[in-house]
Amino acid sequence: MEGEQHLQICEDGVLSCESKEFSDNNHDSDAVEESEDTVTSGNQDVSPASGPTLPILQKIIDLSNKIKVLKDEHALVSNHVKEIKNCSFAEPEISRALQLLTTELGTLKKQYLEESSERKRLYNEVIELKGNIRVFCRCRPINLAEVANGCVSVVEFDTTQENELQILSSDSSKKHFKFDHVFKPQDGQETVFAQTKPIVTSVLDGYNVCIFAYGQTGTGKTFTMEGTPENRGVNYRTLEELFHCAESRSRLMKFELSVSMLEVYNEKIMDLLVDNSNHPPKKLEVKQSAEGTQEVPGLVEAQVFNTDEVWDLLKRGYSVRSVGSTAANEQSSRSHCLLRVTVKGENLINGQRTRSHLWLVDLAGSERVGKVEVEGERLKESQFINKSLSALGDVISALASKTSHIPYRNSKLTHMLQNSLGGDCKTLMFVQISPSSSDLGETLCSLNFASRVRGIESGPARKQADVSELLKLKQMAEKLKQEEKETKKLQDTVQSLQLRLAAREHISKGLQDKVRDLEFQLAEERKTRIKQETRAIASASSSTTSRQVREQLPTITEKKPPLAPTRMLRMPLRRITNFMPQQPSQGPIKRFSDATSTKSKENYNNNNSSRRSSSMDMNALMKPRRSSIAYRPAPPPSAVASGNKTLLPRRRVSIATLRPEASSSSSYMNMMTTPSRPSSSIFRGGNPRKARYSKLFSPDHNLVTPNAMKSSRFMKSPLGGGGNSWKPSHPTVVALQKKTVVWSPLKFKNRRSTFLAMRSSSSSTSDVLRKEQ
Ligand SMILES: Nc1ncnc2c1ncn2[C@@H]1O[C@H](COP(=O)(O)OP(=O)(O)OP(=O)(O)O)[C@@H](O)[C@H]1O
């Protein structure tokens, strides 16, 4: 069209040039020059000198001038280009610069990666410190049925915004959601597990971990957790990884892994590792342990040693899990399935033990009863599922708003996950969504719920020490406390005993002093008595001839029984202690027994010899040194006349008074009374210690007090009954028998065996006395 116009103008002879100029506008300079020539020739034809210039011609002239200017410019630029074309680059410089730039880019890339991984680490640290529940969002691919129904995807993933997604609402607005990680429909099971791995493996470090999948029915919860034999899910991969890590740490740590599987179906807990086909399922309950953790007593805990065993167990459990077909899902889970992995760890270096749990939970899908078209048993299941999920929602809301009461016990599920949701545990939630526009409402609901879960701050997780070990230590501490108490008690007792001992020692010292005084007095008394006795002997022998006296006197003096043992023979005063010396091995000493008389004699001889060697004998130590004072009345004249001058030494008698009317020796017993106390009180409940003091020494068998007679010891005494055969021959004894003497038992101190010897044989008496002297 434009070409035609130019042609028309060309017919005028002017426009043809113009047309040429336009057409050559983009061509080379030669063409421009040619057109210029034409114009110039045209100008010549219409020169102003030849006539008035037409306006169009004027226009042409102006344009020609412009062309000229442009032509000059063009020539200039062309020269420039030619120059540039001719100019050669300095290649080494450029390549160097390029190299520099490449290196710089590499460094920057590296720095960026380092920074982003550091940022991620810090972010995870913050999350752990705050105790946030991590939330991963996973969107499943749109399925054929949905495409067939004309549904479109409403989920958009912005590549520039990491871990974010947008939901296109029906009103064309976009809703943004951000999570800890967002998995696109094309992300496979490995990608999902790669992000999950760091959390699950912390169970080996002694942390409690809980991972649960939440979302609308048919969104891929079971696919994520269980997976398929070709595409195994988090459960299997986790155990595989745990075995792998345990193996790599086997030099430092020893691990034991055991698995339990249960489901919460219609608010009942069922053990999936127990074959319930033959009998009704065992009823299990959630109980709080002493440590405050939630436990299910009676739950089977199967120890596993390799992944094959794990897979067998998982298959067994999955096969008995309650599943059913709904309009939304062919294989819909009708229960919450919980897999618990218990890890017991022992540090081989420091012996530290840990016991931690890993919960892997596949929740039943939230579903709209109307939409999934359920009825009968399925409807009931749906109601239970929704009820427990709504209880989970309430717990999440309460935790997010930090209210004082968290309604964990409103459902079995929340009760069981109490520690995982609000305790010292690392928790991860998979929020599963469908991309389909038909599920938009549920998707928004799930994402809103997940955002709330992400906001929960439950405090940092902490390592779990092995409770059994803790209990052992507690018991030990308790025992130690008890022992400390006992020790303190014993120390108190020892202290009080020491005090008592000191007091007793003090008393004994006083007593020893007293005894020493008494001994001194006694020695004095003895001296006086010897003088008296010498005088008595002298008067008694006045009737005999002076010659006989002269002959007998040295013998008498020789044969005279000692009034008391010499200082050498006297037993040294013992320190009174609280300890009784041990009895000799031959048994208890029957001091006045007939049967032991011979033995006593032997003992006497032994003792005597040992005394001579100044050694302390145990028997000697055991001999009592107590004695009393007895008043001995003069024997009746008949007795003296008949020559019955029996001297039967009695060691203990009471202070007795003699009734004057008594005539026979046998009636002495009846006449003698102990004024201080009634006789019966000695052995009948009375104080035996006091009773002993009431017994007084009597040299005459007739002078036995009723108390002494009643005493079994004295009744059996050979001195009491069988002394008639013995007749004293010693003049001192004879003289003493004639006199009223106050008998001091101190005189007979330690002389029991002497009397025994006297009784058994009168002939041996003088020997004994001689020996003693
Ligand atoms: N990411 C995915 N890639 C491929 N297929 C998937 C994915 N997620 C889910 N599916 C498929 O979607 C279907 C439903 O998944 P699944 O049964 O896991 O859902 P669900 O959420 O467990 O449902 P319900 O709550 O009813 O048990 C399955 O056939 C599963 O194979």
Q: Phi then psi for 108, rounded to 5 degrees?
A: -65, -40
Query: What one-character-per-residue DSSP string does 490-532 give?
Result: HHHHHHHHHHHHHHHHHHHHHHHHHHHHHHHHHHHHHHHHHHH
Cα torsion through 584, 588, 593, 599, rounded to 10: -20
Q: How many Å lie between the centroid of ligand 1 and the Cα of residue 330? A: 10
pLDDT of residue 53 exceeding 80 = no
Tell whether pTM > 0.95.
Answer: no
For the segment 43-59, the average pLDDT, to the nearest whole number, is 60
Cα 359-271-226 angle, rounded to 5 deg: 50
Residue range 201-252, pLDDT digits in tens: 888 988 888 999 999 988 999 999 999 888 999 999 999 999 999 999 898 8
Q: How confident is the model at residue 321 (pLDDT cuts 50, 70, 90)?
A: confident
Give CA–CA dist 404/491, Å, rounded: 50
Q: What is the DSSP code (8-state) at residue 657?
A: B
Give CA–CA dist 237/359, Å, rounded: 14
**217 close to ligand 1 (CB < 6 Angstrom):** yes
Helix (H) or strand (E) holding 253: strand 253-265
CATH class of the region 131-465: alpha beta
**223 close to ligand 1 (CB < 6 Angstrom):** yes
Helix (H) or strand (E) holding 22: helix 15-23
Handedness of CA 599, 602, 604, 610 (dihedral sign): negative
Q: How confident is the model at residue 457 (pLDDT cuts 50, 70, 90)?
A: confident
Give the HSE-up count for residue 229: Cα atoms under 13 Å, Cβ half-sphere: 3
Give the domain ranges of the chain: 55-126, 131-465, 474-505
Q: Binding site annotation covers 221?
A: yes
Q: Which pLDDT score, from 0 to 100, does residue 354 have?
A: 86
Q: Which pLDDT score, from 0 to 100, does residue 92 have?
A: 77
Whole-angstrom Cα Rg for the chain: 64
pLDDT of residue 746 exceeding 90 = no
State the complex-level ipTM.
0.98
Q: How many Å lie between the centroid of ligand 1 and the Cα of residue 413? A: 22
Q: How many Å lie between the centroid of ligand 1 and the Cα of residue 221? A: 6
Neighbours of 618 (CB within 10 A): 14
pLDDT of residue 552 exceeding 60 = no
Q: How many Å lie between the centroid of ligand 1 and the Cα of residue 338? A: 17
Q: Binding site annotation covers 196?
A: no
Give nearest CA residue, ligand 1 atom 15. 220
Q: Which pLDDT score, from 0 to 100, does residue 113 have?
A: 86
Question: How many residues would you count in the chain?
Answer: 773
Cα 33-34-35 angle, rounded to 5 deg: 95
**202 close to ligand 1 (CB < 6 Angstrom):** no
pLDDT of residue 371 exceeding 80 = no
Contact 393, 407 (CB under 8 A): no
**334 close to ligand 1 (CB < 6 Angstrom):** no
Q: How confident is the model at residue 199 (pLDDT cuts 50, 70, 90)?
A: confident
Contacts of the segment 575-582: beta carbons below 8 A, 24+ positions apart:
575/508, 575/512, 576/504, 576/508, 576/511, 576/512, 577/508, 578/501, 578/504, 581/618, 581/621, 581/622, 582/618
Q: How many Å lie between the centroid of ligand 1 and the Cα of residue 434? A: 10
**336 close to ligand 1 (CB < 6 Angstrom):** no
Contact 550, 541 (CB under 8 A): no
Q: Binding site annotation covers 307?
A: no
Residue range 429-456, pLDDT digits in tens: 999 999 999 999 999 999 999 998 888 8
Give CA–CA dist 509/499, Å, rounded: 15
Residue range 697-709, pLDDT digits in tens: 444 444 444 444 4
Q: Which pLDDT score, from 0 to 100, does residue 491 have?
A: 95
Give CA–CA dist 101/446, Å, rounded: 48
Q: Binding site annotation covers 370?
A: no
Q: How confident is the model at residue 553 (pLDDT cuts 50, 70, 90)?
A: low
For the segment 576-585, the average pLDDT, to the nearest whole number, is 48
Residue that has been written with the tokens 């033959």 in this structure? 278
**333 close to ligand 1 (CB < 6 Angstrom):** yes
Q: Binding site annotation covers 219?
A: yes
**607 close to ligand 1 (CB < 6 Angstrom):** no
Give nearest CA residue, ligand 1 atom 3. 140
Give CA–CA dist 241/247, Å, rounded: 10
Q: How confident is the model at residue 749 (pLDDT cuts 50, 70, 90)?
A: very low
Atom of ligand 1 nearest to the CA of 432: 21
For the segment 638-655, the average pLDDT, to the nearest whole number, is 47
**436 close to ligand 1 (CB < 6 Angstrom):** no
